[in-house]
Amino acid sequence: MSTPIFAEFPSANQQSDDINVDTCRICLELLSMKRTASHIPCNHKFHRTCVLKWLESKNDMKCVLCNASVSGTVDEGGTRIARTYPFELRNDELMEKGTICPVDHVQANITNCGYLTLGLNKERNQAVKESKNQEWIDDIEQELEKIRRRSEAAEEYFQFILEKKDEDDEDKSDSEESTLEEED
């Protein structure tokens, strides 16, 4: 029986074929239970949400099985999955430091969350139509929930930037006024 990846790292020389046939090496459940995703270029397959969580918890993009540098992750249809970040943490840090990111970046994040939600909802409806098991549906809903949190965090950050900009503008006009007064 296989052991959890967290307890024992398989060596990079180990044959990938016999250790990664039908179970997700991150959670050890059958791959067929949920949606899957594969890494490029090593082709190692995991549950989609498991591997996204794993990548999010690391700063480097390495395959948990073979330690290869991951240049991308694709879903069953071969479509590239966007690497997702734990935005809520990053935004908290940025807000604490008072850092302002370009507004269009934040807007792009919010828009992207919208697209991801649309796609996942479609996927969810399709899964229900195909009578996939509950675990499969829950898996999609878990990802939907994560996107919802990300979107909320992005919008919160967006508000923060707007308020910060207003403050800066006020400061600017204040100093302009005082310069004028001095000139008089």
Positions in the binding site for Zn ion (CB under 5 A): 24, 26-27, 42, 44, 47, 50, 63, 65-66, 68
C-beta closer to Zn ion: residue 26 or 55: 26
Q: Output the smallest distance, CB 119 to Zn ion, in A.
A: 21
Q: Output the smallest distance, CB 89 to Zn ion, in A.
A: 23
φ, ψ of residue 182 to 5 degrees: the values are -60, -40
Query: At CB < 8 A and 24+ separation, what contacts does 69-74 make?
Result: 70/39, 70/40, 70/42, 71/40, 71/41, 72/39, 72/40, 73/37, 73/38, 73/39, 73/40, 74/37, 74/38, 74/40
C-beta closer to Zn ion: residue 66 or 154: 66
3-state SS class at 4:
coil
DSSP 35: -
Residue with tokens 């308020």: 163
C-beta closer to Zn ion: residue 10 or 153: 10
Q: Output the smallest distance, CB 69 to Zn ion, in A.
A: 10
Q: Output the smallest distance, CB 22 to Zn ion, in A.
A: 12
Q: What is the C-alpha to C-alpha distance for residues 182 and 43, in angstroms, rounded to an integer? A: 69
Which residues are registered as beta bridge partners of 80?
74
C-beta closer to Zn ion: residue 44 or 150: 44
C-beta closer to Zn ion: residue 63 or 106: 63
Residue with tokens 């969810």: 124
Q: Output the smallest distance, CB 65 to Zn ion, in A.
A: 4
